[in-house]
């Protein structure tokens, strides 16, 4: 039996995303191609892999087994291709990098643009997660990413972090808010305010929750979002106040940054990769580039 790795990639995408439509969108192929590829794989293996329903596709017991081992097969295939290219002096192959949904304290688009210019043979894919840093770290551990930027310390023994520049965290209020004219505020003064914040799983949300918990206060998050830009818009509209990293808040009319006293822990940014997996030349090249801005 000769397993087609492209069919395996289709199956893994369907399994991870929960459906054929999402898998086809991610892989940029028509849905019928993904469906045909998975059916062909099932025929070749002699076992059903996915139970197709109108709402969501679910894995069979055989599908669960193939998912874990299939990820390993695709990782080995990528490593083999990259190793051959490295032996010829070329840096290429697929590099999947998780990115955060907020402006960073350094010019990430410029750095990644420079990387693409210097290594045009690399298939660089930039991916986000609806559950923020926690989701990105989970995707890294489950081999859906080769590396990721994160604002949450992983604490995982198999992950290695490159510490990048962080940023102060300010209170952001609407220009008409009662605290807009203040130079600084304490957590006690804002504990009863309705908050706009990132969804659970985002690093800044965890840091803000911990700051209030440590100070002995309970706050109310009335509006959740997954982007800093939307958080600022909600604050401007008067839906609440927010604690946001300074680079995430542009100098716009309608909102004001106010310092928090005592100062909150800085927003921390790391570049994380798996320590026990083979590192491709492309990942090494990106890590070297980021080393120029590391703290």
- Report pTM: 0.72
Mean pLDDT by 10 residues, the chain (295 residues): 78 84 82 88 87 78 86 78 66 89 88 93 91 92 92 86 92 95 96 95 92 94 93 95 90 88 91 87 92 78
Residues 259, 264, 270: CA angle, nearest 5 degrees: 120
Residues spanned by CATH 3.40.190.10 within the chain? 91-167+267-295, 169-265
The CATH architecture assigned to 169-265 reads 3-Layer(aba) Sandwich (3.40)
Using an 8 Å Cβ cutoff, are 150 and 269 in contact? yes
pLDDT at 112: 94
**Cα distance between the two ends of the chain:** 51
**pLDDT score recorded for residue 97:** 96
Where do the CATH 1.10.10.10 domains begin and end in the chain? 1-74
Radius of gyration of the chain (CA): 22
pLDDT at 108: 92
- DSSP codes, the chain: ----HHHHHHHHHHHHHTSHHHHHHHHTS-HHHHHHHHHHHHHHHTS--EE--SS--EE-HHHHHHHHHHHHHHHHHHHHHHHHHHHTT---EEEEEE--SS--SS-HHHHHHHHHHH-TTEEEEEE--TTHHHHHHHHHHTTS-SEEEESS----TTEEEEEEEEE-EEEEEETTSTTTT-SEE-HHHHTTSEEEEEPTT-HHHHHHHHHHHHTT---EEEEEES-HHHHHHHHHTTS-BEEEEGGGS-S-TTEEEEEESSPPPPEEEEEEEESSSPPPHHHHHHHHHHTTT--
Give the per-residue pLDDT at 90.
Answer: 66
> Which pLDDT score, from 0 to 100, does residue 197 have?
96
Fold of 1-74: Arc Repressor Mutant, subunit A (1.10.10)
CATH 3.40.190.10 correct for 91-167+267-295: yes
What's the pLDDT score for residue 54?
65
């Amino acid at each position: 039996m000769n397993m087609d790795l492209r069919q395996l990639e289709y199956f893994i995408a369907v399994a991870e995303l929960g459906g054929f439509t999402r898998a086809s969108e991610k892989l940029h192929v028509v849905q019928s191609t993904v469906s045909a590829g998975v059916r062909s794989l099932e025929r070749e293996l002699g076992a059903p892999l996915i139970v197709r329903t109108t709402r969501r596709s679910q894995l069979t017991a055989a599908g669960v087994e193939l998912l874990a081992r299939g990820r390993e097969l695709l990782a080995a295939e990528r490593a083999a291709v990259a190793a051959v290219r490295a032996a010829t002096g070329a840096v290429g192959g697929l590099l999947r990098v998780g990115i955060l949904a907020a402006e960073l304290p350094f010019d990430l688009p410029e750095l990644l643009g420079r990387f693409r210019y210097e290594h045009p043979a690399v298939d660089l894919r930039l991916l986000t997660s609806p559950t923020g840093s926690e989701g990105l770290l989970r995707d890294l551990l489950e081999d859906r990413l080769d590396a990721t930027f994160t604002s949450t310390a992983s604490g995982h023994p198999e992950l290695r972090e490159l510490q990048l520049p962080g940023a102060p965290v300010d209170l952001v209020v609407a220009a008409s808010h009662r605290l807009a004219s203040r130079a600084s505020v304490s957590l006690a003064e804002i504990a009863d305010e309705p908050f706009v914040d990132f969804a659970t799983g985002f690093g800044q949300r965890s840091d803000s929750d911990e700051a209030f918990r440590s100070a002995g206060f309970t706050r109310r998050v009335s509006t959740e979002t997954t982007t800093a830009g939307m958080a600022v818009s909600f604050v401007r509209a008067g839906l609440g106040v927010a604690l946001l990293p300074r680079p995430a808040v542009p100098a716009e009319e309608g909102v004001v940054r106010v310092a928090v006293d005592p100062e909150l822990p800085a927003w921390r940014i790391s570049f994380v990769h798996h320590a026990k997996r083979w590192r491709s030349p492309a990942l090494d090249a990106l890590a070297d580039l980021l080393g120029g801005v590391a703290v």
